[in-house]
Structure 1
């Protein structure tokens, strides 16, 4: 990964986010878990086709969009490097982004967010769910 070690979420932070995801799999409107998740940082893979200036500019986050079999578009993000490597072992670059800030800028329609997809605690939200449940004002 090309991200410095001090830019990745700590194991404790990643564990708290993963526990929140697990809690949400049981109680979908657990407000404490939603707050924990929204306050966490996630790893956003940098798309292979992102131009180098965009990939290195801290004010720009290029979202990797995966198209599902039914045509639905999803952005995968991860709570830790191991969670990302499990699903996307080929990813060589990523950005660390506060999930609440990412959610507050989320497009109005047509784009889902998958957090730790493929894991037992994974969560996928449609665009309304992202903005409604996770958006926090940018700092």
Structure 2
């Protein structure tokens, strides 16, 4: 529940500062966590909270891609600011080199050597990097390793 407490504190701070973007982002994250809590019927543990925040981050990144394709600079700037705010609630993200190391180590553990082992390797890597690395980055690292 530490994340929910932090969100409540940040919500108050954003209200006092009259920071509309931060206020909207914090409210949406808090709402998403509360909705997930209601849906699951129990208080969320830290991993479940991070998963909710990661979903919010992924949605904003997908929106950013759409806005960039449409050339909507006003929405691009706002979405980038939102992404920066959401990232504050995520654990420290792994670098590409660290993701590659995890992928190589996991490939050795599960014996993945060819493209046919893609699903098996992804299934083994994702729980290890959950919340710490973007799925797209992991996907690219796995593809690169299995192509060699």
TM-score by length of 1: 0.29
Largest Rg, 1 or 2: 2
Comparing both structures, which one devotes a greater share of its residues to helix? 2
Structure in which a larger fraction of residues adopt strand? 1
